[in-house]
Structures are given as structure tokens and as C-alpha cells.
Amino acid sequence: MTGSPGRPSPGQVTIADVARHAGVAASTVSYVLSGKRAISEVTRARVLASIRLLGYHPNAGARALASRRANVIALVLPLRSGMQVPVVMQFATAVVTTARRHDHDVLLVTSDEGPAGLRRIAASALVDGVLLMDVELDDARVPLLRDLALPSVLIGFPAEATGLTCVDLDFHEAGAACVAHLAGLGHRRVALLGAPAAVYERGTGFAHRTRSGVSEAAARHGVQVVALPCEEGAADVRRTLTALLAEHPDISALVVQNEAAVGPVLATLPTLGRQVPRDMSVVAICPDQFAEQSAPMLTSVPVPAEEVGRQAVTLLMSKLRDEQVPEATLLAPRLTVRDSTAAAPAVHAVDGH
């Protein structure tokens, strides 16, 4: 037998069964479950006891109909060329984990449909809100976001973010922090090895903000900087470094913002006569795990994927409750000094030629 005499099996229990068992109206059980109306503590305890005893589980579809909520949010994450998939997945994992804490599931949307994809999601009524990643400076999705009734949060910042809710690492300050650290060690010739060219060509916000932060800090600290995109493969990294050092042999430090290029950069430099950090200091903007697993361990500004994902979901949940949220949430960068940076070699530390 699956249940006691006169008691329905757990899978067959209805809200009416709970009401009869607790000696209350079905509407009272509904109010206890939804919290939409104040119920006395005595009655609430009796209803909850009946729910536990009978093994009642509210039907998710019925809950959604009653609340007009799907309890699902969309994570719009178009998989494009030049994206660092392991890092992107850290963001996605943080979003999914945090959403579950709020009793929401996540619909992952990876097609690169632009505004049409957002319209499709909004028209489907499948989700309560949307998170957007890989935000471009002139993102075609932004005007539509402002018009849709669907609550949204952007992980990243477009050039014009007024009226939107955005969260991200302050990449401008991250780039500036890297240059300030190197300038403090006496480096006066620095190169930024940035994201792959496709990322800049799309106008992806984080890459351009980092580059502007590096450039502005270099001007403040009297540092000459060369900024160039960097592809991911070992052969591409070798070509980039060989050409860079042939044209600028006095460069004594690198800022790397390309997680997939970190390993090849560290492997290639010694073959070009540059030991790290004796001849060449290297600082990276990357997750801590990349920095800590490198040899030597990298001085770095971490990309706080878990914190950004958590904050993005928290902001979206607040918007779903019609609560006020800040338009801009910028996480301050934190530079951790490890083994890959040192004082500039004397020949490179001299100002002038």
C-alpha cells in the first residue's frame, strides 16, 4: 500500500485534501502557501503540519498560473568567436546556482539573434526576466530592452547605460591598476595583449574599457604603451610576441587580457630570450585559478565571475519584486601580486630613448 487507509497517496494529494485534513477552507491553504494574505500562526502551523503529513507538493504549473510567474529567467549568452568559454561558464554557473536559491530555473539562450531573440523570449512568456551577457558598446539589443516590459539586467555596460541595470567588474580601473603596479616597479615601456581581434571588432565593452583604462593610466604615469589584440593559439601568440619585441625591443612588461593566451605567453617569452620576471614582467586580468596555476604564478586582477553572476541574479530578483535597484554596479578591481612581476631591468628602466 502507498498510503494509510482513508489517506491519499502523496502523489495524489490535492489542496482540497490538505484543507479537509487541516479543517480549513482550500483558500486558506492557498494563502499559507503563497503568503498573499495574513493567516494566524495557529492556523498556519496546522496547515503546514497537514502538508507534511500528507506529503503534499504544490504543482509547479499551478503555482505559475496562480502567481503569473514562470519561475524561470533567461541567460542570453550568444556564443561568438573570441569568447573565453571556460570563463563564460563560470558566469553561467554562478547565475544558475544563485537563481536556484531564489527558486528559479535558468533558460540558457546561446543563439546570436540580437533583438529578434529578445522579442521571441518576451513573447513566449516562458521567463520572468532576462540577463544579458557579452554586451557591446553599441549593443543592438539595448533599445529594445528599454521598450520591453520584461525586467532585465546586463552583465556588462553599453556606451549609454541610462535607464538600464548593469553590473560588471570595473574593467577601466582594472587596466589602470595593472599599469600603476608596473609603473611603480619602474617599467616605462608596456604592451597590452588584449582580447582576440573579433572581440574588439564587435565593440565588446569590457575589452574597450580595459584598453582605455590602460591608455589613460599610462599617460598619467609617464608610461609608453602599445595596445594590440592577441589571438589564442600558441602559434598566433608566438607571432604576436616576435613581431612586438622586434618592433619594440625596449618593452619590459606585458598586461595580458586573454585567458587562453596566458599559458602560451609564459611559454614563448623564454624562447625569445625573455625570462619572467627578470627580463619581462607579466600581469594578467583573468580568474584567480588561471593566475595561480601558471608558472610562475601570475600577478593578476581577477575577473570575479561568481560575484558578478550572483549580483546580476540578485538585482533581477529585486526588479521582479518591483524594488528599486541601482542602475550601475561596478565591482572594484583587486590586484594580487605574485611571482610574475619585478622591478624593471636597468636597461629598460631608464627614461628617454
Residue 177, domain CATH = 3.40.50.2300
Residues 294 and 311 in one domain: no
Nearest of 341, 170, 332 to residue 255 by alpha carbon: 341
Residues 229 and 287 in one domain: yes
Residues 161 and 188 in one domain: no
C-alpha cell recorded at residue 143 = 533599445
pLDDT value of residue 192: 98
Over residues 61-85, mean pLDDT = 73
pLDDT digits (tens, 9 = 90+) for 281-314: 999 999 898 899 999 999 999 999 999 999 999 9
Residues 129 and 196 in one domain: no
pLDDT value of residue 1: 39
pLDDT value of residue 225: 98
Nearest of 93, 133, 136 to residue 109 by alpha carbon: 133
Please give the full DSSP string across 116-177, using - where no structure is assigned: HHHHHHHHHT--SEEEE-S-BTT-TTHHHHHH-SS-EEEES--S--TTS-EEEE-HHHHHHH
Q: What is the Cα–Cα distance from 263 to 256, expressed in whole angstroms?
A: 11
Residues 94 and 46 in one domain: no
Over residues 187-216, mean pLDDT = 96
Specify the residue for cell string 578591481: 333
Residue 20 lies in a domain: yes
Which residues constitute the domain of residue 235? 171-301
pLDDT digits (tens, 9 = 90+) for 241-266: 999 999 999 999 999 999 899 999 99
Phi, psi of 192 (to 5 degrees): -100, 115
Model confidence at 351: pLDDT above 70: no
Residues 278 and 319 in one domain: no
Q: What is the Cα–Cα distance from 113 to 123, expressed in whole angstroms?
A: 15
pLDDT digits (tens, 9 = 90+) for 134-170: 999 999 999 988 888 889 999 999 999 999 999 999 9
Model confidence at 195: pLDDT above 80: yes
Over residues 216-235, mean pLDDT = 96
pLDDT value of residue 7: 55
